[in-house]
Structure 1
Amino acid sequence: MDPYLQTARVTLRPFGADDADLLVELDSDPEVVRYLSGGAPTAPEVVRDQILPSVRAGYDRWGGRFGLFAADETASGEFLGWFCLRPERDGPLDHVELGYRLRRAAWGRGIATEVADALLTKAFTELDVRVVWGATMALNRGSQRVMEKVGMTVTQTLETPEDMLAVEGADLGGFQYEITRDQWKERGALPS
């Protein structure tokens, strides 16, 4: 399978049908899902029967241009987590979400910033994207720093969805970050 994107240290690839165990393990770490489920793991049958099939269907829906992709360390092949670059299910293709979830072993190494920056380049130079956005909880400073480092800025505050009210810091809400193609170009990231 051809990679979706490759950086100096990371290769993004479509998830295969046999990758469920990677997602189960990732979502079993309470620290990884701390700001998503309050640390509660995703049930393996939900990953196998719902999440992975939905992820794989996205590749067909968007012709392989967008989706949620496995992130492997290029040198070792070790699974690091995932990144997504995708529109809302029925949304416009020029307004896409940037997201990421990494194993703790990959935290603090600049991997999220490296890949997020490369995904912005791909979005704005190859995929005809106009706006890239991402959302995070107010307590999740690590995720906020990644978005800030790649030039995204807060465009609105968010209320916590009802299904996440039990999560630590839910009462503080969250933030939506965005960057437009024009803003990205002004940063000097686009070759003239």
Structure 2
Amino acid sequence: MEFLKEGRVTYVFLETERLRLRAFTEADVEDLVALDGDPEVMRFLTGGAPTPPDTIRTRTLPRLLHDHPGLGTRGYWAAEEKSTGTFLGWFEFRPLDDTTPTVVELGYRLNKAAWGRGYATEGSRALIAKGFTDLGVERVTANTMTVNHRSRRVMEKSGLTYLRTFHTNWPDPIEGSEQGEVEYELTRAAWRRHRRETP
């Protein structure tokens, strides 16, 4: 599905009741700079330090534009409010191995205006369903800091379950990093089982 945005044809990956997840374009740079420039958005990533605009242009955007051959799609999608077209942030649904869709990592980064409105859960559930039904995904994994309770709650509401706590070597430790990170997962078999059991 395609639609016109700012004079450019943009590919829409999926839509939910309230969200449109579409391919990124070069025109999204300023929205990305604003997103990664918010200390609260970056709290559990950099301790609140903003991502420099040049880094957004030279490193972040190329990653968001990358096509993953094994999955047959990109791994990152711009999230917009469907009714207004407002940029809300992005979702990640990226294969850990570029050559196969078997295991994908789920992630999300939304601006503060989108917090507490159920967007992260809504988008995550839609991506998981598409992955398991259309893309050949067998397992979805997601990670966050142990102390990031909001993100962990989204993972749980999206159907993922806690797998383990692990510690990584942070080059620049931030508050809470000493408590480690957590990994959550959901397999296609568990997702199908839950769907059958839910009235």
Tell me which interval the TM-score lies in, with the shorter structure as reference length. over 0.9
**Unmatched 5+ stretches in structure 2:** 1-9
- Counterpart of 2:132 in structure 1 is 124
Distance 1:150 1:54, change over 3 A: closer
TM-score (norm 1): 0.92
- Name the structure, 1 or 2, with higher relative contact order (CA <8 Å, separation 6+): 1
Contact kept, 8 Å, 2:71 with 2:100, in 1: the verdict is no
Q: Which residue of 1 aligns with 2:4?
A: none
Q: What does residue range 1-192 of structure 1 map to in structure 2 within 5 Å?
A: 1-56=10-65, 58-59=66-67, 61=69, 64-88=72-96, 90=98, 92-165=100-173, 167-188=174-195
Q: Distance in 1 between matches of 2:32 and 2:127?
A: 21
Question: How much identity, in percent, do the aligned residues show?
Answer: 45
Structure-2 separation of matches of 1:186 and 1:66:
28
- Cα distance 1:22–1:36, how it changes in 2: closer, same or farther (>3 A)? same
Deviation digits for residues 138-157 of structure 1 (CA, Å, limit 9, x no counterpart): 11000000110111011111
| Shift of residue 89, structure 1, vs aligned partner | 5.1
The separation in 1 between residues aligned to 2:160 and 2:101, in whole angstroms, is 19
Over aligned residue pairs, what C-alpha RMSD do you find?
Answer: 1.8
For normalisation by structure 2, the TM-score amounts to 0.89
Where 2:12 maps in the other structure, the secondary structure is coil
Larger strand proportion, structure 1 or 2?
Answer: 2
Q: How many residues align?
A: 189
Shift, 1:26, TM fit = 0.1
Structure 1 gap segments, 5+ residues each? none
Determine helix, strand or coil for the equivalent of 2:171: helix
